[in-house]
Amino acid sequence: QVQLVESGGGLVQTGGSLRLSCAASGRTFSSYNMAWFRQAPGKEREFVARTSWSGGSGDYTDSVKGRFTISRDNAKNTVYLQMNSLKPEDTAVYYCAAKKRLIEPWGSWGQGTQVTVSS
C-alpha cells in the first residue's frame, strides 16, 4: 500500500503548460507501477498515462500523445505529469494511481487536483 498526494493543478489558458506532481509515501515506491487518470464532470474516469517502476517512455491515451509526458523520480518518491499545449478538453480532475502488478486493479488513489483550461 502506498499513500498518494497530488498537487500542481490550476487554471491555464489554451496552449499553456502545467506540471502535476504526485508524492508517494511508502518504503517500496520504486516497485510500483504509476499512472495518471482524469475525470471531467459527467464523464467516467479516463486513463491518461502510465509508467512502470523502471520509467521508460511511458504509455499514453491517444488524445494526449505528443503533448503530455509522464516521468518519475524514485529518489524523491514522486511521479510527474508534464502537460503542454493544453486544450479546453483537458479540463478535469486529475488523479494519480499505483499498483504492484499490471493485472491488478489500480488500488491506491490520490485525492485529485483540478486542472482547468480556459478557451
Per-residue b or e along 53-90, where b marks 16 or more CB atoms closer than 10 Å to that residue's CB: eeeeebebeeebeeebbbbbeeeebbbbbebeebeeeb
Q: Please say whether the beta carbons of 67 and 55 come within 8 A.
A: no
Which runs of consecutive H residues, i.e. helices, occur in the chain? none
Taking residues 24-40, what's their average pLDDT?
A: 89
Residue 115's beta-bridge partner residues?
10, 92
Helix (H) or strand (E) holding 69: strand 68-73
**Ramachandran assignment for 18, one of left (phi > 0), alpha (psi -120 to 50 degrees), beta (any other):** beta
Read off the amino acid at residue 28.
Answer: T
pLDDT > 90: what percent of the chain?
Answer: 77
User: Mean pLDDT, the chain, as a whole number?
Assistant: 93
Question: What is the predicted pLDDT for the residue at 53?
Answer: 73
Taking residues 30-34, what's their average pLDDT?
A: 87
101 falls in which pLDDT band (50, 70, 90)? confident
Question: What is the predicted pLDDT for the residue at 74?
Answer: 84
pLDDT digits (tens, 9 = 90+) for 47-98: 999 998 776 668 999 999 999 999 999 889 899 999 999 999 999 999 999 9
Q: Is residue 116 scored above 80 in pLDDT?
A: yes
Q: Which residue's entry shows cell 499490471?
A: 102
Read off the amino acid at residue 116.
Answer: T
Taking residues 98-104, what's their average pLDDT?
A: 88
Cα separation, 55 vs 17, in Å, equals 22
